[in-house]
Each structure stands twice: as C-alpha cells, then as structure tokens.
Amino acid sequence: MSIRLPIPLFVAALAVTVLASRRTAGATAPHPLLDSPSATALAATAGRDSVIFAGGCFWGVEAVFERVKGVIDVTSGYAGGSLNNPSYERVSDGDTGHAESVKIIFDPSVVSYGQLLKVFFSVAHDPTQLNFQGPDHGTQYRSAIWYASAEQQKETAAYIAQLAQAKVFPGKIVTQVSQWQRFWPAEGYHQGYYDLHPNQPYIVYNDRPKVEQLRKQFPTLYHEK
C-alpha cells in the first residue's frame, strides 16, 4: 500500500515528514530529451486521437497533460489489469495488475503524438524507476504506455530506442509498451485532484514541480488550465 492516501489528517500530520525524507526520490529532474522523429508532424485537419499513459500517481500525470495545448480531455483511471470495475482501494493493494493511468484524448492537428511522448518521458515521470515513482511503490505505479494504433506502437518503440542509444537517462528505461486495453475511470474524487487540492503537501512536493517543468521546458505547448 502506498503512503499516498487522500485523508486530510494523514496528509497534515504524516505526509510532510515522510515526503521530506524522500527529497531525492520525489523530485522531478528535467531531462534534455531529443525529439521523436515525428514530434513536429501535425495532422492537416482537426481530429481526435487517444493514448493511455501510466507514470506513478495519476494526480500529477493528469495535471501535466491537462496543461498541454491540443489535449482535449484527460481522465484518471486504471489500466493493465484483469479485474473488472477496479476500485482505488483494490488497485492500491498492488495485486490486481492495474496501474494508475491517464487516458488522454488529443487533437493531432495541434499537438503530435511525438510531442506527448516527449512530455511523458521528460516531465511527467521518471521512466527508469521500476514499479515505483518517488514515494509511491508497487506495480500500480509502474511506467507504461498503452498505444491505440500501429503508428503509435512504432513511434513509441523508435523513441525509446532513440533515448536509450543517446543515453539520455543514467538508468535503463523500464516503460512497458502494450496494445490498448480496457480503461476504467477512477472514482470522481480523483478527477482534477491537483486543482482541487493545490496546497496538499503531496501535491506541492511531488506534482507541482512537474507542472512547473512543463511550463519551463515546453513554453509553446503549455497553457494555463
């Protein structure tokens, strides 16, 4: 079970102490990532495409992609497991096979899939952390991508290979890449959690730096929510 629990008393009394002791693990460091081959290849006409990303706690990943121009909708939820209608409590046990994930719907004429990949691998999470992100541990916090098309699959594989060859990260990229699976939306109180609880210590320490790095590293993609 992760230490991340949506309980005000826990957050106030315990999260500050625990998270402060994990300053190195919790911080999001910027990476000078390369562009994917099609990062700037925008579609000629407006449309809708989708992808599922998992990179630790879905609160922060959702907050990042909600602030990317061209992203139409972001939903926090669960993917990759076999249990139907999973709950937060069951997924947090770490035995359902699900990962906390976000389903992203975007307009490829405004933001390319390659640009979303770059954001995902640079500021949304650390792809070298195996089955954890910062203070959150378990397979439910793994790094994963569920692609929606053969084109996405090809581009994702090529980009990961490109990053590995360039040795952008000090460790091995452990992101799992799989075909689209059923996505289960999380409970309502998880949706928009970052904006509803901007001063919660977990959000301030773990997720606000991700949004700030998005603003700094991707000024042309960033927009205020």
Whether 57 is a known active-site residue: answer yes
Q: What is the DSSP letter of 13?
A: I
Query: What phi-psi label fits residue 93: left (phi over 0), alpha (psi between -120 and 50 degrees) or beta?
Result: alpha
Q: Are the C-beta atoms of 63 and 125 separated by less than 8 Å?
A: no
Please state, in angstroms and rounded to a whole number, the distance separating the CA atoms of residues 208 and 196. 13
First-to-last C-alpha distance (Å) of the chain: 31
- Name the active-site residue from 52, 57, 145, 186: 57
> C-alpha angle 101/64/150, rounded to 5°?
55
Q: Annotated active-site positions, please?
A: 57
